[in-house]
Amino acid sequence: MQKSITFKNANISFSDVGKGAAVVLLHGFLENATMWQQIIPEISKRNRVISIDLLGHGKSDCLGYVHSMELFAESVEAVLKHLRIRKCFIIGHSLGGYVALSFAEKNPQKIKGLCLLNSTSNNDDVERKKLRLRANKMIQANFTNMVRMSFTNLFGKESRTRYKEEIKSALQEALQTPIQGYIAGQEGMRLRINRNHVLVNNDFKKLIIIGKKDPVLNFELSLNEAKNTNSEFIIFNDGHMSHIENKNELIVALKRFIN
């Protein structure tokens, strides 16, 4: 059941199930808490699992036209404060990983472990920044086609066929994202800083889950990042959407990481 708090006059929606060690799940761009619906029942058997709709996604409101990683992280902090959670494992998919790093930078004492799922502590390169600016101009003219294209491009050719129904369902959720949420999220990601230091300078558990065929994150760069930041890493054979493409392996990996 979804609950909510007010953060800076915006509604932030979240779910809170199970008992045990607190595990915070943060979804990616154009996703929401429903991305974890196959994962939560497994993880919550032995843990307390909090899944948050980030600003401008799902049932959470927007706050202006730039959702910086710091602002996202503040909203996560507000939820955890409301729930009186002092320490947690935090698992972030893609954008959720950038938010998790920002949260950990400010609150390292609250982190038991941080997992970057198809995510990175690196900032955008020049080309990616240009793509985000272009996307924000184009989204205002043709929202549906842009979201459809952005989302479908997260999957490799084989996965598009193999997981047709799952992709269809996830795309419907993506299309619920408001234009303002899309623009604010893209702008926040474009402006985000490199946070390699968060992984290097802290001794909480660190795990990077890498998709071998990830169309968004370069495989070799992700591998080097894990090695250079002394982070444990796991390689899956598919792409950017491990919760769909490698669901069973992901559940095993997350259980091991948490327990």
pLDDT at 15: 98
pLDDT of the residue at 153: 87
Position 150 scores a pLDDT of 87
Domain ranges of the chain: 3-258
| Those residues with Cβ within 8 angstroms of residue 73's Cβ, 6 or more apart along the chain or in another chain | 99, 102, 103, 105, 106
Residue 218 is predicted with a pLDDT of 96
Phi-psi region of 235 (alpha: psi -120 to 50; beta: other; left: phi over 0): beta
Cα–Cα distance measured from residue 75 to residue 11, given in angstroms and rounded to the nearest whole number: 10
Q: Look at the block and give the residue holding tokens 């690196």.
A: 122
Of 22, 3, 58, nearest to 175 (Cα)?
58
How many other β-carbons are positioned within 10 Å of the β-carbon of residue 246? Answer: 21
User: Burial level of 64, CB count in 10 A (0-12/13-18/19+)?
Assistant: middle
Residues 6+ apart with CB under 8 A from 231: 116, 199, 206, 207, 208, 225
At residue 26, the pLDDT reads 99
- Among 98, 71, 129, smallest CA distance to 199 is for 98
- HEC secondary structure over the chain: CCEEEEECCEEEEEEEECCCEEEEEECCCCCCHHHHCCCHHHHCCCEEEEEECCCCCCCCCCCCCCCCHHHHHHHHHHHHHHCCCCCEEEEEECHHHHHHHHHHHHCHHHEEEEEEECCCCCCCCHHHHHHHHHHHHHCCCCHHHHHHHHHHCCCCHHHHHHCHHHHHHHHHHHCCCCHHHHHHHHHHHHHCCCCHHHHHCCCCEEEEEEECCCCCCCHHHHHHHHHHCCCEEEEECCCCCHHHHCHHHHHHHHHHHHC
- Taking the complete model, does pTM exceed 0.95, yes or no? yes
- C-alpha distances in Å from residue 152, one per residue of 48, 239, 241: 32, 12, 11
CATH H-level, domain 3-258: superfamily: Alpha/Beta hydrolase fold, catalytic domain (3.40.50.1820)
Residue 162 pLDDT: 94
Q: For every one of its 259 residues, what pLDDT tens digit does the chain have, with 9 covering 90 and above?
A: 899 999 999 999 999 999 999 999 999 999 999 999 999 999 999 999 999 999 999 999 999 999 999 999 999 999 999 999 999 999 999 999 999 999 999 999 999 999 999 999 999 999 999 999 999 999 989 999 999 988 888 988 889 999 999 999 999 999 999 999 999 999 999 999 999 999 999 999 999 999 999 999 999 999 999 999 999 999 999 999 999 999 999 999 999 999 8
pLDDT score for 84? 98
Closest to 79 measured CA to CA, from 3, 5, 2: 5
